[in-house]
Amino acid sequence: MKELKGTGVALATPMHSDGRIDFTGLDNLVNYVIDGGVNYLVVLGTTGESATLNADEKNAVLEAVKESNNGRLPIVLGVGGNNTTEVENQLKSLDTSGLTAILSVSPYYNKPTQEGIYRHYKRLAECSPLPIILYNVPGRTGSNISSATTLKLANEFDNIVAVKEASGDMEQIMEIIRDKPSHFEVISGDDALTLPILAVGGYGVISVVGQAFPKTFSDMVSYGLSRKMKKANEKHYQLLHATQLLFAEGNPGGLKSALKIRGICKEHVRLPLYKVSKSLENKIAAEIARIGE
């Protein structure tokens, strides 16, 4: 986990107006966040619109990110789903070259019990060629990974090394941090709660907003981890309104609007997602002008 301390960014997948992947925009984005000081890259997560990419497109995006990155930062790959056997097969056939870990979202839509969630991740841990980061995001999956289930998995499997926590439940998050084994870490999955999570012992963040403001966000995380809380608070409140705006009409629509304003890529997303309203885009532009970078 030493390689994954600090600020990771869940990369968007830039697209042309006809839905094709914009590989020039993807290269621009990778270089922009690296130049901004982030610590690692996360490919094919929710923000990358993985739900609407086919297998060939996913492979092409991963290879493009590897090429643009050129070994500069660790890469975490999103591999998840609500069909345990299918996810297991993907992991067994995975080419792990250039990858550091797997980020695997808790099964969505099926609404499994805690026992089902435990057995899902048990199967993945037993076959994964790379360390696994659990991803708990109840707002998208329809079910929460309880602190008890997270800790059970962390204690039983050395290759389950972290959880990306986006439950918004600080009590649950603190329970995990208090009781976790030494090899296991808690990563914020909620940009607005990143600093509070760091303050109670979190290890870093996998961020959306960190792509639009990589330097400011990375500075906040670095200050938070080094307990320079006055400076961390300044960055946190500098970013708070921008964070709220980027999620106001869904992710990654707000993020792609910010990246368009910065000249990195276009704002296009795939249905059923849709670009943000002009009024929100104007507010995002005002925040970019205010914060700078």
Among residues 197, 222, 291, 284, the alpha carbon closest in space to that of 247 is found at 284
Q: Strands 132-136 and 75-78, how do they pair?
A: unpaired
Domains and CATH numbers, the chain: 2-228 (3.20.20.70)
The three state secondary structure string of the chain is CHHHCEEEEECCCCECCCCCECHHHHHHHHHHHHHCCCCEEEECCCCCCHHHCCHHHHHHHHHHHHHHHCCCCCEEEECCCCCHHHHHHHHHCCCCCCCCEEEEECCCCCCCCHHHHHHHHHHHHHHCCCCEEEEECHHHHCCCCCHHHHHHHHHHCCCEEEEEECCCCHHHHHHHHHHCCCCCEEEECCHHHHHHHHHCCCCEEEECHHHHCHHHHHHHHHHHHCCCHHHHHHHHHHHHHHHHHHCCCCCCHHHHHHHHHCCCCCCCCCCCCCCCCHHHHHHHHHHHHHHCC
204 beta partners: 6, 187
pLDDT in tens, the chain (293 residues): 789 999 999 999 999 999 999 999 999 999 999 999 999 999 999 999 999 999 999 999 999 999 999 999 999 999 999 999 999 999 999 999 999 999 999 999 999 999 999 999 999 999 999 999 999 999 999 999 999 999 999 999 999 999 999 999 999 999 999 999 999 999 999 999 999 999 999 999 999 999 999 999 999 999 999 999 999 999 999 999 999 999 999 999 999 999 999 999 999 999 999 999 999 999 999 999 999 88
In the residue annotation, 230 being an active-site residue is answered as no
pTM: 0.95
Q: Helices 23-35 & 214-225, crossing angle to 10 degrees? A: 40
How many Å apart are CA 285 and CA 277, to the nearest integer? 12
- Do 189 and 162 touch, CB atoms closer than 8 A? no
Catalytic residue (one of 58, 164, 275, 283) = 164
Among residues 177, 108, 176, the alpha carbon closest in space to that of 137 is found at 108
In the residue annotation, 108 being an active-site residue is answered as no
Catalytic residue (one of 135, 180, 260, 275) = 135
